[in-house]
Amino acid sequence: MDVTLERIVSLITRFGVYSSALLLSLGLSMRFTAPSWRLGDIVIQLGFITLISTPIAAVASLAILSAIKRDVKLTLTSILVLLILLLGIALGAI
């Protein structure tokens, strides 16, 4: 895999994990300290959605970027992994 592809996928993954951790910790602190606990629950749900969508975004970007680079094996592998992830979410396995 190309160094730029690795760097882009790494940045997407890192950003997703950090933003998810930030949202989850912010939501938990709001949940237990704020008078309106509903807002904290919404922020916690956003954190979980971010955590779940991070690998999907990383694999989708890898598929697109490898298709642009015309790497057929990596593109097909990324598309297969993306389909498995989406199928798992659709069936409720993840």
Q: How many domains are contained in the chain?
A: 1
Q: Print pLDDT tens along the chain (94 aa).
A: 667 888 988 999 999 999 999 999 999 888 888 777 788 889 999 999 999 999 999 999 999 999 999 989 999 999 999 999 999 888 886 5
Q: pLDDT at position 39, please?
A: 86
Domain span including residue 55: 3-91
Q: pLDDT at position 6, please?
A: 86
Q: pLDDT at position 56, please?
A: 94
Distance CA 2, CA 32 (A): 45
Q: How many CA atoms lie within 13 A of 43 on its CB side?
A: 19
CA distances to 5, 10, 15, 74, 93 from 70, in Å: 12, 20, 26, 9, 32
